[in-house]
Structure 1
Amino acid sequence: MGNALPPPAYGVVCDIDVQGHPPIRQKARRTPLRSLGKLYELLKGLLTARLVSFSDSPWASPIVIVLKKNGIDIRLCIDYKRVNAITAIIEYAMPLVDDLLTEMEAYLWFCSLDAASGFWAVMMTRRARKISAFVCALGHFEWLRMPFGLKNAPMIYQRTIDNALRGFVQPKGGWANFSEKMRLAETAEAEDKAGVTEASVSPNEAPRTKFEADRALSTTESAVASLVKSPLADMYSSGEPDESSLVPVLDRRSVVDDICFGSETFEACLATLDRLLSRFRECRISVSFSNSLFVQRKVGFLCHDVSAAGIAPDAKKAAAVTELSFPASKKGVQSFLGALNYYSRFIQDFAVYGAALYQLKDADFEPGGDLSAASQSFAMLQQRIRDAPILRHFDRGKDVHVTLFANEWALSSTLMQEHEGKLHPVRFCGRVLKDADMNYHPAEKEVLALLLVLKVCYTQLVGKSIRVYTRFSTLEWVHKSKTLFGRATQFAVLLSPWHLVVERVKEKDCVFAQLLQAGLTSFVDLDESLASVAPPSKGSANVRLDPHLLYARLPTSYSGHVLSFDVSAKTETHGGYGSCSWILRKLPEWTIVIAVSAYLEATTVNLAEYAGMNNGVSAALGLAITDLVIVGDSRLAMQQSLGVIACRKETLMTQLNHHRELVAKLRLVK
């Protein structure tokens, strides 16, 4: 249909319920003089196409002029923020992108259809016309067709397309009856318009202003507008069951005006297309021929390339992301992450590599800020979207495999299925750890990664047996044990509906690595390569969380002393007491040199950590030990002593200074 305005869809109207709120009349915002000519042309086109008319409504929302990418043309946007705030929302479930990209494993031929003009195919009720009124430097106008920006517009249009594909209700009297009424109304409107036009060019008439002819057209209510006001116009209010022989057309949903479907054979796909177009003709929904693809091996859908081989990111959009330079502000980083997040399903360990970018602050971009980890993360994410694999369609007939990974700041999981003897990715997912999650044991973090993929891919995985590959035996114990406590009980409850087959993968497992499709990273090798992208630790803007600092790695032949400590403490409401213990061992025999515990009458967890660590160092010095390795699971004392976390509290600063005095007496400390 090109750029022509499509005729209105049958049986649907846009109404706006402001729940009795008095009219909101806002002032027009200033328009730059250089944009005034473009605004006039745009409004003139809308008036000519009968999309808007002049208004005498007590409502008025201001316009916002937005320049298009070419820097010359403008886009008309209306600020409906205050109108939307008082509008009663239509509760209608919108489809999710994840759901729309599934159930395509059997397709060999595809169609991708784009409905013409989208929202403009829906007529407005008289009340909606008045409430939608907008004001600008060139006048006061109201919409005759549903505009963008209204809160309920996506739901109204989605419901229209869903009804066309499924066939729930029809206009009162049937589609053919309403079609005839609309034809008569449009004929009458065309005759009225022709009459006004002839009168407007009479040689005896006085000269008119630019918009006077358009105002004449809008002063009288057209036959189509009268039909829209009638009870016949809204089929959802009448609720008459659809008796069409063409429905249901598809067993899939669309998202607003994008429709994608397919079939195993060319003929079957063509037959479905023919039935769909016949149904759209019946409902009077127009399709944009230039923006649609018919019976192809590969089509574009929701910025993805869909084919029988699987799903890939749109090549042009992915290339645009990879060509960006590192942003100069936090806002620029957020824009980059927003663009990349849409394609996160294609990036293995997206959250692991992106955490340093998520934690950036405005101060980090000032002189002296450390952007080394962020720059490295930025480059690695660009490389990963450049090398993004084709994700296979999920096949319910195949076994499901899941790999898990978690480190100090993020977790990730990979959903895979076997094709030609290799495990191919179906979906990557992950997230940055919350503060509380960071205290979990790595095995518990991997349970969180499993719960995440079960949630994200629920509709695909429900009822399936899932083989899970993990580095720890904890997951199998949590899933099967009958004697659980603490967080393990909660994990067991959440995992109880699922049938899991847990397989532990040892470090450097070559057999498992060979199962993976080329390009997939085996999680057992990840820890070695993540130091450069570690995000800043909480409380410190410039010091990154280095895995080599946080994990003690000693050769098996190491000879020396190792100090370990552990603590516990009650909160003040439960007594405020605690305890600490420290053990000094001699390696390589692991002989216990000293093991001591102490009761602390009034303490906190952080003070108890310092007490255990400092008492252990003092004990080592008392035995004339000069080289010492200190290990512990402390989230504060250890990291403050390393400079990873800033220390600002006076009581802790005293303990930290004491610790520094003690370790200064050692020849070597790690």
Structure 2
Amino acid sequence: SRKRRNDLRLVVDYRALNKQVVSDKFPLPRIDEILDSISSKNKIFTSLDLTQGYHQVKIKAADIFKTAFSTSECGSYEYLRVPFGLKTSSSALCRPLLHLLRGLNNIIHFVDDVIAMDKDAEDHLMTLAKVFEKFREGNLKCRPEKVNLFQTKLKFLGVVVTQGQISPDPEKIESVKNIKPPQTIKQLRGILGLMSYFRKFIRNYAQIAKPLTDLTRGNPQKITWSKLAQDSLDHLKKALTSEPILCLPDFQTGQFVVTTDASTKGIGAILSQIINGEEKVIAYASRTLTTGESNYSATQLELLSIIHHLEKFKHYLVGRKFKLRSDHKSLQYLQTFKKPSGILARWILKIQDLDYEFEHLKGKQNAPCDYLSRFPDNAPLENENEEINT
């Protein structure tokens, strides 16, 4: 295939080989955790893109023959370096890159993209010097046209990062404006997958998307596309294209706040941080209840919400004293339960290593989380089937 003018990329069908290749269990970093590691203190950014990233990793001599492929006009070839299309290619690049950059502060990377970030230009220059020295050590090369030095705004992994804020990439969501009503269940789930990727930016995402997620329930063969579903799609498109903004966390100063709630439909939470006396939203979260959880008592549901969301936001909270808010007053005794038993005891053990102070909210004060719990995120079902009637 042709990538750019006079620039060809070989695409080899390695499906048969992939069936024989042992899976590499090296864990790739989670995108949400990468983005969460960007501090609001960072004001200067540089992005580096490795030139043909996979091709910078050599293949063991004994394995080269396995990559052989033939062409109709130019003969047969073997790859000397990791090709695109092998199921272990990403791990083969990420593992050495992780070890190479280990110990460097203010560096994040995802596959062949490396980001350096600092609070000022002087510190940034020192960071870049260390990064480039590591690249020389590992014999890694960057693509010059994709090196962006000393930026105050950076596009990375589908979002735009600027001083203290994060928002969806306008280029990535431009196509959202042109989304048409889906014709198949598969198309509908594709739309929901796209919207869900950006749901941390959309307050009350679950309530807005509910008419669409309801259409995927029950493994339907055909679904009627209604005005309610169209209104839901239009609302989501508008929410994403209006450039919603969340704040980046400040890991040096400012107290984190986790506000939770639960209902008979689901659990919800808001992660925020108090910076310079002002509380700023970092992320929204919610989910539906399982069949078993729907039988929990009110106290169990509230505690479930706390446990689930403290686990979800744990990388923000470990080693820091934070504020935990709930409108269920009995939970203020979490840290002083005399003899908890059963599931309650197991849950309390899960959060005993966290340092928090409990704050009771009256129901009206907890309206945002109450809304999230009553209209939680509903992940689309995995099965996909036939047509949607419009």
TM-score range, shorter chain: 0.7 to 0.9
Partner of 2:63: 128
Residue from 40, 58, 78 that aligns with 1:105: 40
CA distance in 2, matches of 1:505, 1:332: 42
Q: State the Cα distance separating 1:436 from its structure 2 match.
A: 1.9
Aligned partner letter, 1:263: D
Cα distance, 1:272–1:487 mapped onto 2, change above 3 Å? closer
User: For residues 322 and 501 of structure 1, what CA distance do their matches in structure 2 show?
Assistant: 44
Taking only the aligned residue pairs, the percentage that are identical comes to: 23
Taking the aligned partners of 2:301 and 2:235, their CA distance within structure 1 comes to: 24
Task: After TM superposition, give the deviation of residue 415 of structure 1 in Å.
Answer: 0.8
Instruction: State the secondary structure of the residue aligned to 1:305.
Output: strand
Q: Which amino acid aligns with 2:368?
A: S
One-letter code aligned to 2:337: S
Deviation at 1:259, TM superposition (A): 0.8
* CA spacing shift, 1:409–1:146, aligned 2, 3 Å: same
Letter in 2 for 1:122: V
Contact kept? 1:430, 1:452, Cα under 8 Å: no
The AA in structure 2 aligned to 1:422 is E
The change in CA–CA distance for 1:327 and 1:147 in structure 2 (over 3 A counts) is same
* Residue in structure 2 matched with residue 466 of structure 1 by the alignment: 322
Question: For 1:619-630, what aligned pairs fall within 5 Å after superposition?
Answer: none
Q: Is the 8 A contact 1:115 1:288 kept in 2?
A: yes
User: Secondary structure at 1:290's aligned position in 2?
Assistant: helix
Match in the other structure for 2:80: 144
Amino acid at match of 1:494: K
Instruction: Give the letter aligned to residue 149 of structure 1.
Output: G
Q: What is the CA-CA distance between 1:428 and the residue it aligns to?
A: 2.1
Distance change in 2, residues 1:453/1:523 (3 Å): closer
Indicate if the aligned counterparts of 2:249 and 2:273 stay in contact, CA closer than 8 A. Answer: no
Structure 1 unaligned spans of 5+: 1-37, 47-74, 167-247, 513-520, 537-670
3-state DSSP class of the match of 1:320? helix
Match of 2:202 among 343, 347, 352: 347
Q: Is the 8 A contact 1:133 1:141 kept in 2?
A: yes
* Maintained 8 Å contact 2:320/2:355: yes
Question: Which residue among 523, 526, 549 is the counterpart of 2:369?
Answer: 523
Aligned equivalent of 1:290, options 134, 145, 148: 145
Aligned length: 375
CA distance in 2, matches of 1:254, 1:154: 12
Match of 2:386 in 1: none
Paired residues for 1:411-560 under 5 Å: 411-509=267-365, 522-524=368-370
Report SS of the residue matched to 2:363: coil
Length-normalised TM-score, structure 2? 0.82
Q: Following the alignment from structure 1 to structure 2, what is the Cα–Cα distance between the partners of residues 356 and 474?
A: 35
Which residue number corresponds to residue 337 of structure 1? 192
Q: CA deviation at 1:355?
A: 4.7
The within-5 A match list for 1:331-410 is 331-361=186-216, 366=222, 369=224, 371=226, 374-387=229-242, 388-410=244-266
**Offset at 1:507?**
3.0
| Equivalence for 2:95 | 159
With over 3 angstroms needed to count, the CA separation of the structure-2 counterparts of 1:335 and 1:343, relative to structure 1, is same
CA–CA separation in structure 2 for the residues paired with 1:480 and 1:503: 15
Match 1:115 to one of 50, 58, 67: 50
**Could you tell me the TM-score, scaled by structure 1's length?**
0.50
Corresponding letter in the other structure for 2:55: W
CA 1:366 to 1:141, structure 2 compared with 1: closer, same or farther past 3 Å? same
Write the letter of the residue equivalent to 2:147.
Answer: S
Mark the CA change 1:120 to 1:269 in structure 2 (over 3 Å): closer, same or farther: same
- How far residue 321 of structure 1 moved from its aligned partner, in angstroms, is 2.6
Contact kept, 8 Å, 1:356 with 1:534, in 2: the verdict is no
In the alignment, structure 1 residue 86 sits paired with structure 2 residue 57: no
CA distance in 2, matches of 1:374, 1:393: 35
SS of 2:179's equivalent in the other structure is coil
In the other structure, the counterpart of 1:321 is 176
Distance (Å, rounded) in 1 between the aligned partners of 2:133 and 2:378? 56
The SS at the match of 2:364 is coil
Name 1:281's counterpart in structure 2: 136
Matched letter for residue 146 of structure 1: V
Q: Which amino acid aligns with 2:304?
A: L
- Per the alignment, do residues 325 and 439 of structure 1 end up closer, same or farther by CA in structure 2, a change over 3 Å counting? farther
Higher relative contact order (CA 8 A, sep 6+): 2
How far residue 335 of structure 1 moved from its aligned partner, in angstroms, is 1.0
Instruction: Give the SS at the match of 1:143.
Output: coil
- What SS does the aligned partner of 2:357 have? strand
Seen in structure 2, the aligned counterparts of structure 1 residues 449 and 376 have a Cα distance that, compared at 3 Å, is farther
**CA offset at residue 486 of structure 1?**
4.8
Q: Is the 8 A contact 2:45 2:118 kept in 1?
A: yes
CA distance in 1, matches of 2:261, 2:178: 29
TM-fit CA distance, 1:527: 8.2
Deviation string, structure 1 residues 338-367 (Cα, Å, up to 9, x no partner)? 222322332334345445534434975736
Q: Which whole-Å deviations, capped at 9, do the CAs of 1:451-486 have from their partners, x for residues lacking one? A: 222222222211222322222224224443224455
Among residues 123, 126, 130, which one is paired with 1:271 in the alignment? 126
Q: CA RMSD in A?
A: 3.5
Q: Matches of 1:483 and 1:372 in 2, distance apart?
A: 53
Shift of 1:295: 0.7
Equivalent residue letter for 1:150? L
**Distance across 1 between alignment mates of 2:101 and 2:261:** 42
**Higher radius of gyration, 1 or 2:** 1
* Counterpart pick for 1:252 among 107, 116, 119: 107
CA contact (8 A) 2:43 2:162 kept: yes
Q: Which amino acid aligns with 1:449?
A: S
What are the superposed Cα offsets for residues 141-193 of structure 1, whole Å, 9 maximum, x if unpaired? 43233111212211221123224324xxxxxxxxxxxxxxxxxxxxxxxxxxx
Change (3 A) 1:465 1:376: farther
1:565-576 equivalence runs, <5 A: none
Taking a change above 3 Å as real, the CA distance of residues 477 and 136 of structure 1, as seen in their structure-2 partners, is: farther
